[in-house]
Amino acid sequence: MVQARWKSVSYGAWLFLLSSGAALCLSVIDYLFAAGINHTGGVVLVIVSTAALLLAALLAIAFALAPWLRGLLNVGIFLGLLGTGFAAYLLEAPWLLVLMVVALAAWVSQLVRGTHREVRFVGHHAQPGAMS
Closest CA to 35 of 95, 86, 97, 91: 91
37 scored as a contact of other proteins (CB under 8 A)? yes
What's at 56, amino acid-wise? A
Among the listed ranges 41-49, 77-85, 103-111, 116-124, the one in contact with other proteins (CB under 8 A) is 41-49
Among the listed ranges 9-17, 61-69, 71-79, 86-94, the one in contact with other proteins (CB under 8 A) is 86-94
40 scored as a contact of other proteins (CB under 8 A)? yes
Give the binding-site size for other proteins (rule: CB under 8 A): 12
Closest CA to 58 of 88, 21, 83: 21
The b-or-e profile of 72-110 (16+ CB within 10 A means b, else e) is ebbeebeebbebbbebbeebebeebbbbbebbbebbeeb
90 scored as a contact of other proteins (CB under 8 A)? yes
- Considering only residues 47 to 76 of the shown chain, the ones binding other proteins according to CB under 8 A are none
97 scored as a contact of other proteins (CB under 8 A)? no
Nearer to other proteins, 63 or 86 (CB): 86
Helix (H) / strand (E) element for 46: namely helix 41-62
Binding site for other proteins (CB under 8 A): 35-37, 40-43, 45, 87, 90-92
